Amino acid sequence: MKNTKETGRLSDDIKEEHNKLLEADLVIFQFPMYWSSVPGIMKGWIDRVLTQGFAFSLQNMYDNGIFRDKKALLSFTTGGPESMYLPDGIKGDINIMLYPLQVKRAVFTYLVVYPWSSGCATSGGGSLLEHLREREEQPLSFAPTELFDLTFQGGFRLRPEVKEARAVQPYGLTPGHHLGKRLPPDNQTKPAPRD
């Protein structure tokens, strides 16, 4: 897709989606959680629209990306109550499920605010718009690119001094950067407390 963008051979529908994203301040990814991920049609949209050369490059991704000042929100239904998605729930810890969705898809290009989810009808629910009006827009915290050696020689890995500094911490940085430690609680569902 990168070469397609550079040579101007993108289809009109993809160009239109690119323009919508460039104009938006907030992008809401609304979907039903499907096999612990997004439905296939949404995955196809992500693959076709959030392409290298448009949404990111090896030099401009995560907190250095083109959309770093824009926000993204995952808004999804789970089909079950919150208790099913706790660390001891039958579906497992939702923080683990959300990590690849938020980091590998959304945060790769956007500043992600904590998600909103709705389980099933018996879980209380409420509307998305009511929820958005009431909440503070504090973004989730993720490992910033400055913590990594962003070279092929360095393997795009955490810098040694970062790993050394984290050695005394009780938790890893994120579910994906756990460093053999316990996972940070609610890392993918709630913003960090303000100082």
Task: Determine the Cα–Cα distance for residues 85 and 140; give it in Å rounded to an integer.
Answer: 19
Lowest mean pLDDT among 26-40, 84-98, 100-114: 100-114
User: Are residues 81 and 119 in contact, defined by beta-carbon separation less than 8 angstroms?
Assistant: yes
Return all residues near 122 (Cβ < 8 A) that are at least 6 apart: 81
Helix (H), strand (E) at residue 114: none
pLDDT at 13 over 90: yes
In terms of DSSP H, where are the helices of 50-192?
Answer: 94-99, 128-134, 160-166
Total-model pTM: 0.66
Q: Which residue ranges make up each domain of the chain?
A: 2-142
Surface-to-core class of residue 170, CB atoms within 10 Å of its CB (0-12 exposed, 13-18 middle, 19+ buried): exposed
Task: Determine the Cα–Cα distance for residues 121 and 70; give it in Å rounded to an integer.
Answer: 32
Structure tokens at 133: 């009006």
Architecture of domain 2-142: 3-Layer(aba) Sandwich (3.40)
pLDDT in tens, 43-100: 999 889 988 888 888 777 777 778 878 888 888 888 888 888 877 777 878 888 888 8
